């Protein structure tokens, strides 16, 4: 899975339409191989982004869970700590 696509479900505060749009864009970029489509492919590319954003929003609104929502700040800190452990702390002097 594309590393730039972030988990969007079960967060407090809930996901925003901009976050869904960004994830959809990353998904279409990944599967198409285009970072920026040519003029010939631009309409199809952005139509796909919009369609995936709509389906993703419907999915997220339809899901149910008994788990308490995750705190965005705590989750971000946890992922940063995991990354620092895996790849080393980029702020430490070389």
pLDDT at 1 exceeding the cut of 50: no
Does the bond joining 13 to the residue before it have cis omega, within 30 degrees of 0? Answer: yes
pTM recorded for the entire structure: 0.76
Helix (H, G, I), strand (E, B) or coil at 83: helix
pLDDT tens figures, 60-94:
999 999 999 888 888 888 888 988 898 887 655 55
64: left (phi over 0), alpha (psi -120 to 50) or beta: beta
Q: Is residue 3 very low, low, confident or very high in pLDDT (cuts 50, 70, 90)?
A: low
């Amino acid at each position: 899975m594309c590393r730039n696509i972030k988990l969007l479900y079960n967060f407090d505060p809930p996901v925003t339409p901009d976050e869904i749009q960004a994830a959809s864009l990353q998904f279409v970029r990944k599967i198409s191989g285009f970072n920026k489509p040519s003029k010939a492919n631009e309409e199809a590319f952005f139509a796909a982004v919009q369609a995936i954003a709509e389906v993703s929003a419907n999915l997220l609104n339809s899901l149910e869970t008994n788990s308490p929502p995750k705190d965005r700040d705590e989750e971000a800190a946890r992922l940063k700590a995991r990354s620092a452990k895996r790849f080393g702390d980029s702020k430490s002097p070389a």
